[in-house]
């Protein structure tokens, strides 16, 4: 049932979709840089890019393009992005401000709303950079396993560790929440771009990961 061109780009789409929703932090940075407060800055965060309707639209457009063969690769990619976004939102749900999952119908935020107090809250979010390091390194290990070329994955993993250590050090200084968000997003957005670009450069590795019955074929 699953066509190869579509399933390949779907895999890449899942990786992209898992990080893409947080691109809306760019808007938060602009609001803070323009002198807005934290509440104003975080208002647009986790709305359009975290909405069920955005995912539904991407999934439907993707499926139509894929299954009508208008563009199997674009269709599979869009469908994958919708799956990745859904996973992202599931992991956002228990955390901090919740997610405007039904935006634009309602801006109400849904979630389990737990958050560590004080400096632990900052350390907690700083783990993002450690996860990025693990992701880049794991992809590099897979390249070795499949005897493929690993492109920039080791330097990216090292850069992620450095960013993690810098952020941990910064977290331990007393900072205001809005200043922290600026620094966090200022360091984090380049990594967000890396998580979009490096999987593309290394897409052959992602295409080679066996899943399900393929494993025994």
Question: What is 104-161 written as a DSSP string?
Answer: TT----BS--B---THHHHHHHHHHHHHHHHHHHHHHHHHHHTT----SHHHHHHHHH
Q: How far is the CB of 70 from Zn ion (least distance, A)?
A: 30
Tell me the C-alpha to C-alpha distance, in Å, between residue 133 and each of 6, 69, 108.
28, 37, 34
Q: How far is the CB of 90 from Zn ion (least distance, A)?
A: 10
* Residue with smaller CB distance to Zn ion, 66 or 86: 86
Q: How far is the CB of 29 from Zn ion (least distance, A)?
A: 15
* Residue with smaller CB distance to Zn ion, 114 or 214: 114
Cα 12 from Cα 196, distance rounded (Å):
9
Residues interacting with Zn ion, by CB under 5 A?
21-22, 92
* Residue with smaller CB distance to Zn ion, 21 or 80: 21
* Residue with smaller CB distance to Zn ion, 92 or 171: 92
148 within 8 A of 136, measured Cβ to Cβ: no
Q: How far is the CB of 43 from Zn ion (least distance, A)?
A: 14
């Amino acid at each position: 049932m699953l066509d190869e061109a579509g399933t390949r780009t779907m895999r890449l789409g899942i990786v992209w979709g898992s990080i893409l929703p947080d691109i809306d932090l760019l808007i938060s940075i602009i609001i803070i840089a323009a002198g807005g407060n934290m509440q104003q800055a975080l208002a647009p965060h986790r709305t359009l890019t975290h909405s069920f309707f955005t995912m539904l639209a991407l999934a439907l457009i993707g499926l139509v393009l894929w299954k009508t063969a208008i563009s199997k690769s674009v269709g599979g990619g869009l469908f994958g992005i919708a799956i990745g976004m859904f996973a992202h939102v599931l992991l956002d749900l228990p955390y901090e401000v919740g997610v405007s999952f039904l935006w634009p119908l309602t801006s109400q935020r849904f979630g389990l709303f737990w958050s560590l107090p004080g400096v632990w809250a900052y350390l907690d979010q700083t783990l993002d950079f450690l996860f990025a390091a693990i992701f880049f390194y794991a992809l590099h290990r897979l390249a070795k396993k499949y005897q493929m070329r690993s492109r920039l994955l080791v330097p990216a993993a090292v850069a992620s560790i450095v960013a993690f250590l810098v952020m941990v050090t910064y977290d331990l200084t007393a900072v205001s929440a809005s200043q922290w968000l600026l620094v966090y997003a200022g360091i984090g957005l380049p990594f967000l771009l890396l998580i979009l670009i490096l999987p593309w450069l290394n897409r052959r590795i992602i295409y080679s990961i066996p899943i399900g019955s393929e494993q025994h074929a």
